[in-house]
Structure 1
């Protein structure tokens, strides 16, 4: 991670807040651009740390974006709608936030001569590619959620700015990132449901939905490693990399891990049925992370081990053990 000051959009969110702390620990000053719509509980302490400057505003606001970019050497663009299902309530949400928000950031970078963006994309761009491994060359890419469509549109905008205006970018298609600051996701939701109703666990779908999970510290390590070792050149100004762990974990497995961790392994699990937990859900996503492996980096834990570790951490942080 190089540069005197980095801009982190969404820096008060789950992954963004961890990234801000990581950057500060390496001696890099951080400007946060965040609309404060979903800040993690430790935000007041984070934004008052030495070296942090907060611009409270949206990535859609060109004035706020320009103010945030002005003193940065690079941009870590993480701001996005974090709940896929919200796209059903507001179909334009992901297109505004991801596509137009990314274009606003890119234009601000162009105007302030900041050339390097790190973009948090998602395995959601792959849509329904079946049970096979999804590698970076898979296609055609036909997302099944507006969230995935927004991320794919943002990737396209980045590629166009790279070709037209000389922007350079590392694009990371994340698996499911896990940590105690999560405000959504299967582990978080299961624990919240059990705290609200300890008689049974309700699970959306049939439990066979399977995805790749990895810990937030591995996510940060992977991005940092790639930024240092995967070169961006005039011939290849954009690098797209899957980032996750090996293997995949089913929702049913997660449910059993949560029940065991809270001391209720025999509690009934009630599945609502159906391959998708909600409209836009991907029943199976197996990210092929072999390219990062071949380049020299891999997550420290498999998907199953990451889930088990995250469950233990979150149960402890929520005081959810029986």
Structure 2
């Protein structure tokens, strides 16, 4: 297949691109390479597959309507994996407009591209944060999600509703995946595991909110990618069992649309997560215990039975294995520089590849 993947310089998007290329798909990568966090890390991710003969890179902003339209018109992808977004729950308090521009307007442009160019299936990223004020554990797709606690979650809930409307009005098969706390090699520097590792190696204290009593369905990135690709291969359909009454929030009934949780079913307390990290690093953390932050929820727990039933897969990597893999990657990438100043050799490869692809933005 020819697959458009948005956010290929991102954490999950780069892993998805590699997976698709490895199995023989052609990938059109789309990313703005913005400076929300270290651009060199983004370039190093891209360098892993920039020279692959099946990969074409487009550097542009999803909020640029003309650029998105050009990508669809030029490359005519069979399917789309839409992962690009302004990430980070807390950054929305500082810069709310970028969340709407990227996550809402950008997603509208992707939906329009799918609508006008006959895309067979759209898979898009949502988040466990949409469960918001809900406290019924485990979270499942049949529960209502009308009470988000952050703007980030609200934009992702908007994405789900927008995709449903396009599935219903224009027959665009759409599958949304609610990710639960993804971690692993090549992760984002603003996420807990990255922040904790950097601080512990530097002998600096780590901020532990809710006194470490959060419970999270920490999900290893390879598990997420396997679920994304399996979902991509199974286009959503309308629910044949729908009775014409109240639609199921997870499957609609009236449209080729589906929502799945994708996360580890075994939640882990944050203090245990830190303990595993300490063991992998061979160092103890200095913990600054703090109260629950505004917008945070005490616990998340994923019910992935629908994903298991429909695509035959559930996440399997535990935190002991997953954190160890991240630490090995981190030490290799930064070559022992706890301050995180080292630029990985892959960046040079990215620059060379970009020079060879003089039409990379077209």
**When the two structures are superposed, what TM-score results if normalisation uses the length of structure 1?**
0.89
CA distance in 2, matches of 1:139, 1:128: 10
**Given that residues 12 and 34 in structure 1 are in contact (C-alpha distance below 8 angstroms), is that contact kept between their aligned partners in structure 2?**
yes
Residue equivalent to 2:287: 269
- Is residue 308 from structure 1 mapped to residue 323 from structure 2 by the alignment? no
C-alpha distance in structure 2 between counterparts of 1:64 and 1:223, whole Å: 25
How many angstroms does 1:204 deviate by? Answer: 3.2
Unaligned runs of 5+ in 1: none
Question: 1:50 maps to which residue?
Answer: 53
Deviations 1:5-58 (A, max 9, x none): 100000111110111111111111111110012525232342222111111101
Indicate which of 173, 182, 185 corresponds to 1:180.
185
Which stretch has the larger CA shift, 227-236 or 279-288? 227-236
Is the aligned partner of 1:284 residue 2:299?
Answer: yes
Aligned partner (choices 166, 169, 172) of residue 164 of structure 1 = 169
- Whether contact under 8 Å (2:60, 2:67) holds in the other structure is yes
Q: How far off its partner does 1:67 sit? A: 2.2
* 2:210 counterpart SS class: coil
Distance in 2, matches of 1:35 and 1:268, equals: 37
Residues 263 and 101 (structure 1), Cα distance of their counterparts in 2 relative to 1, 3 Å cut: same
Match of 1:65 in 2: 68
1:72-91 to structure 2, matched below 5 A, reads: 72-91=77-96
RMSD: 2.1
Deviation at 1:154? 0.8
Correspondence for 1:145 among 150, 153, 156: 150
Which residue does the alignment assign to 1:29? Answer: 26
Is 2:215 aligned against 1:210? Answer: yes
User: 1:217 deviation in Å?
Assistant: 1.3
Relative to structure 1, the CA distance from residue 131 to residue 260 in structure 2 (aligned partners, 3 Å threshold; closer, same or farther) is farther
- 1:203-242 aligned at under 5 Å gives the runs 203-229=208-234, 231-233=236-238, 235-242=254-261
Aligned length: 310
CA contact (8 A) 1:81 1:97 kept: yes
TM-score by length of 2: 0.80
CA contact (8 A) 2:164 2:255 kept: no
Q: 1:156 to 1:199 in 2, by over 3 A?
A: closer
Q: CA deviation at 1:203?
A: 2.1
Is 1:195 the counterpart of 2:201 in the alignment?
yes
Please list the CA deviations of residues 48-90 of structure 1 after superposition, one character each: whole Å capped at 9, or x if unmatched.
2211111110111112112222321111000011222110111
What corresponds to 2:313 in structure 1? 297
Q: How far does residue 174 in structure 1 lie from its aligned partner after superposition?
A: 0.9
Kindly state the Cα deviation for residue 231 of structure 1 after the two structures are TM-superposed.
Answer: 4.4
CA distance 1:211–1:321, shift in 2 (3 Å): farther
Give the Cα separation in 1 of the matches to 2:162 and 2:182.
Answer: 24
In structure 2, distance between residues paired with 1:241 and 1:317:
29
**Contact persistence 2:9–2:43 (CA under 8 A):** yes
